[in-house]
Amino acid sequence: MRSVILNTQSPICSVSGGDYHVSTLLNGGSATIQIKPDSVAEFMDFDAAMAEAKAQNKPLLIDFTGWACVNCRKMEESVWTVESIKKKLEEDFVLVSLYVDDKVKLPEEQQGVFEYQAGDELKKKKIKTIGNKWATFQTQVFNNNSQPYYVMLSPDGYLLGNPVGYTPSVSDYAAFLDCGINAFSDTKV
């Protein structure tokens, strides 16, 4: 498996919580675009979404989600459908939804063992499914294993704000998105 190094730094703006640092990614995957019915057009593959973010020069919004995630559906149905939020998602971001519980097997060439340090111990985790890949990516890069979990990155891989989880308040979620949009605008010269 290959690793991709992203630019590491503290978030450019802060909505709440502590600092998060992006360091490494898990294996990329295919470059297919999938459209989710009744939702904002989105990617379901990180590398394809990041390539599109670079091509469009837009920030990337990562949506760590799950097929069985009730709060994820609540966000999609109650927050993402609000016109002002939907417009930001469609116009200001490239959106990628990474399903951490997807049971679809990865192609053989993308399966493998992910090795990582836990204190003094070298641990190994088998990566066989799409869900294994994205769950490992989330826990190893963002030190979080809850869904939904939203992360904004610049096309160069810089963290644009503190990631957030379930945010049922439309105004709070709008503030989170605005933070990333403003941080991205401030980095453009």
Q: Which DSSP string corresponds to 50-118?
A: HHHHHHHT--EEEEEE-TT-HHHHHIIIIITTSHHHHHHHHHT-EEEEEETT--PBPPGGG-EEEEEEE
Question: What would the pLDDT profile of 37-89 be if each residue is shown by its tens digit?
Answer: 344 547 999 999 999 999 999 999 999 999 999 999 999 999 999 999 999 99
What pLDDT was estimated at residue 20? 31
pLDDT tens, the chain, 189 aa long: 333 334 334 444 433 333 333 333 333 333 233 334 344 547 999 999 999 999 999 999 999 999 999 999 999 999 999 999 999 999 999 999 999 999 999 999 999 999 988 889 999 999 999 999 999 999 999 999 999 999 999 999 999 999 999 999 999 999 999 999 999 999 875
